[in-house]
Amino acid sequence: MIQIDDAGWGSLLLGVIIAGYRPETSKFICTEIPVEMFQGENFSKEAYRKGAVKAAEYVLSKLDYHQNEHIEICTGYVLDGIRGYLSAKGLCYKSGKITGPLQEKIEMQMLENLKKIGLKDLDYETVTEKHGLFFWKSLRWLKGGDVNGRVLSDREKFAKTGWPTYHIWALMPYERARVEAKRYKNNRRRGFYGVGSSY
C-alpha cells in the first residue's frame, strides 16, 4: 500500500509539498508543487492541479508503485487533480484522512523548508495547530518584521500571491487588513466575488 498526502495549501509561503509513504518499508518520498504555480495567472488557471499530478507521478515512481497496489490519498483540495489522474488510469485508491508517520514526516518537511528561507522562530505546533499565529509569523517575515509595513520585494517570490486577498495583506497595516480580508470573505460568500483561497 502507498499513502499520499499534501502540506502547505493553507500556508501563505512556499508551494505545496506532495509526499508518498510506503508503510511496510517506512520509505518516504516528497516533492513540491512550486510556489510559482500559486502566483498570478498560474493560480487563476489552477496550474497547481497539473503540478500535483506531476508530483504524484514522481512520488509513485520513487516508491516503485505497481499497477494493482492500493493507494490511500488524503482528501485535500489540491489533491483533486491526483484523484482524477488515478481514476483516469484505472488505479485502485480511496480518499480519507491521513494520520501517523506520513502526516508527521510531511509536516516536518514543511517546517524545514520554511526555516530554510528564514523563518527561524517557527515550531511544529505552530505550523500544524496554531494556524492564525503561523499566518501572522509568515506575514511578519514577508514584511521584514513589521506586520504594519509592506511586503519586501525580495521576499514576495516566496508567497502565494495568487490568493485573492494577498494584496490586502501585503499592502495594508495588519489590523486594517484583517477587517478588509474579512469583508472580502463575507462578500464572496454572498456571491459578490469569484472563488478564491482561504486568505
- Report whether pLDDT(26) > 50: yes
- Report whether pLDDT(194) > 80: no
Percentage above 90 pLDDT, the chain = 73
* pLDDT computed for residue 78 by the predictor: 86
d(CA 169, CA 59): 34
Delineate the domains of the chain, giving CATH numbers in brackets. Answer: 2-106 (3.30.420.10), 121-189 (no CATH)
d(CA 34, CA 138): 18
- What end-to-end distance do the CA atoms of the chain give, in Å? 35
- Report whether pLDDT(198) > 50: no
Report pLDDT digits (tens) over 60-86: 999 999 888 899 999 888 888 899 888
Give the pLDDT mean for 107-112: 96
* pLDDT computed for residue 155 by the predictor: 97
pTM, full prediction:
0.88
* pLDDT computed for residue 116 by the predictor: 95
